[in-house]
Every structure is written in C-alpha cells, then in structure tokens.
C-alpha cells in the first residue's frame, strides 16, 4: 500500500482505495481510478489529480519554498557510522532526433520535475531569481512518498547543442546528505543520447536512533528504484526504448571514501528491462 498524501494506492489492483477528492470534476471515471486509466503517459504523485509525464509545472515562488535559508549538508553531516554510497545510472538511446533531444533539454532546464516526477517522489522548482528556469541558487523541493520531504539547491547547471547537466546539493532536512548529478550527452551524427544520473550520499535520518541495517537498506533500495523510474520517464518522453541501461553501485566506509580508498563492495547491474518496464 502506498500513501500519496490525498489517498492510499493499492498496486496489486492498480486503483486508489478511497474516493477521488476531485471526483465531480471527472464524472466519466470511477472515483477510484488511477491516472484516467493511462499509466503510460500520466502520473498522480499526490493522489489528487493526474499529471502528464513531460508536462512542465509552474515554478514555486521563493516565499512558498520548503526551505528558504537552510544550509547545505555535505557527506560529513550524514548519520554517524553510515556508509557512503555512489550510485551511477546510465541509459543509451539510439535513433534520437535532434528535435527530441532539444525537447528533453528544454523540459529539464525549465522544470526538472517534468522528467524526475515518479511514484516515489515529486520535484518542484523554486525559482529564486525569477527567470523561469533552473539556475544556480534555485531550490528543488521534493515531496517524498510518506512523511519525509526535503530540498536540494542547484550548484551548477549548463546546456549547449550537445548536452545539458545540473548538479544539486542536499539541504538541511533532506533524508540524505551529499549531492546528485543529472546529465545528457547527445551525438547528433550518430543520433545517440546517453542520460546519466550520479548520486553520492550518506543517510541523514538519525538512523542511530532506530538502528542501522534494514532501515538504511530499505531507503537505498527505494532510491535505486526511483532513479530507474526516472530513466523510464526519459524513455517515455523520447518515445524510444534504451538500447542499453546499467546501474553501478559502490559502497564505501566514510573514511575510506574521504581518503580515496577502494569501495567495500561494488556491483553492476543491467537494468534495461526495468527501464523499459517503468516507461510503459
């Protein structure tokens, strides 16, 4: 059972188990329906109303931000004793038209949530400089499934004819401490696009109060599931299944990571089938 804020969703039967708060607005659908029976092209991150994947949202105003003056929390601020985990996801797409790359770039640089929103979290740009686009210093508020929420700040952003990228750092109140990078490289001659997500964090949820092990493992599994879903969104927006997709996860003891030592463990996984599943 998943809690969306407005309602609970049962994935076994693919419907909500309580009446749609906006049922009167959609008289042609059962009040228990999920995303107008169109999960390929729509999501409902709050349980209130369906949204199309790839539809930019209006940015939030600074006064509506979850976190206005919060400080960045680096890896050194993570839970005591927690490990550092570096997760790298990459998906390669072939036969990508220049216009489709430009569309993806426009979506990301205007509203990262139009690509990143998924069943586990919704992302809202907080436009501090008022330019209507992702800029250094802007925040992204994250509505995470369940009671926890968080925010990140844009540390770097760039876009040109062959790609785009943005790096975000976690802010106080986020369940992780560290940074995340999104980037796309486009080869117009080969019509190939590679989309990459690079996430390096420690937990920041006071796990020391509840014990390590299962809570951290569950959190990181959810994180890994989420980024695979985001690659599925990219596939859906491009209208193309990836020719390949991979996940590489390295786990370090904190001091070993700081000192540049080898990870305690590492695993690489072919996630192409998962990405295709999440794009359907």
Q: pLDDT tens digits for 95-149?
A: 999 999 999 999 999 999 999 998 888 899 999 999 999 999 999 999 876 555 7
How many angstroms separate the CA atoms of 52 and 46, rounded? 13
In the chain, domain spans? 75-279
Token pair 């990219």 in the structure block, residue: 234
Nearest to 183 by CA among 133, 125, 130, 230: 230
How would you write 99-163 as a 3-class SS string?
HHHHHHHHHHHHCCHHHHCECCEEEEEECCCCCCCCCCCCEEEEEECCCCEEEEEEEEEEEECCE
Identify the pLDDT of residue 47: 66
pLDDT of residue 193: 98
The confidence score (pLDDT) of residue 213 equals 46
Cα–Cα distances (Å) from 55 to 13, 32, 251, in that order, read 26, 23, 35
pLDDT for 244 beyond 80: yes
| Residue 156, both tokens | 């770097």
Between 32-46, 99-113, 177-191, 204-218, the lowest mean confidence (pLDDT) is in: 204-218
Note the helical H segments in the chain. Answer: 98-110, 113-116, 214-238, 254-258, 272-279
Mean pLDDT of 146-161: 86
Stretch 150-162: mean pLDDT, rounded? 95
Mean residue pLDDT of the chain comes to 85
Mean pLDDT across 33-39? 59
pLDDT at res. 79: 84
Supply the pTM of this predicted model.
0.78
Domain 75-279 has CATH 3.20.19.10: no
């Amino acid at each position: 059972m998943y809690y969306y804020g407005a309602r609970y969703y049962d994935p076994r039967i693919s419907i909500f188990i309580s009446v749609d708060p906006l049922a009167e607005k959609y008289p042609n659908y059962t009040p228990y329906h999920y995303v107008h029976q169109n999960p390929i092209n729509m999501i409902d991150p709050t349980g209130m109303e369906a949204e199309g994947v790839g539809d930019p949202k209006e940015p939030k105003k600074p006064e509506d931000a979850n976190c206005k003056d919060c400080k960045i929390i680096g890896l050194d601020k993570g839970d005591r004793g927690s490990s550092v985990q570096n997760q790298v996801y990459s998906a390669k797409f072939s036969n990508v038209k220049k216009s489709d790359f430009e569309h993806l770039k426009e979506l990301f640089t205007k509203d990262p949530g139009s690509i990143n929103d998924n069943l586990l979290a919704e992302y809202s740009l907080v436009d501090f400089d008022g330019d209507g686009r992702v800029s250094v210093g802007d925040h992204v508020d994250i509505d995470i499934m369940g009671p926890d929420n968080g925010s990140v700040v844009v540390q770097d952003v760039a876009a040109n004819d062959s790609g785009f990228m943005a790096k975000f750092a976690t802010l106080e109140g986020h369940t992780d401490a560290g940074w995340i990078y999104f980037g796309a490289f486009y080869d117009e001659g080969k019509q190939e696009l590679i989309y990459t997500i690079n996430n390096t964090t420690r937990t920041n949820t006071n796990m020391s109060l509840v014990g390590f092990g299962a809570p951290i493992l569950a959190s990181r599994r959810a994180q890994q599931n989420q980024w695979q879903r985001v690659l599925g969104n990219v596939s859906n927006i491009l209208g193309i299944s990836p020719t390949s997709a991979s996940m590489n996860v390295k786990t370090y003891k904190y001091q070993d990571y700081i000192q540049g030592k080898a990870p305690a463990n590492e695993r690489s996984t072919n996630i192409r089938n998962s990405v295709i599943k999440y794009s359907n």
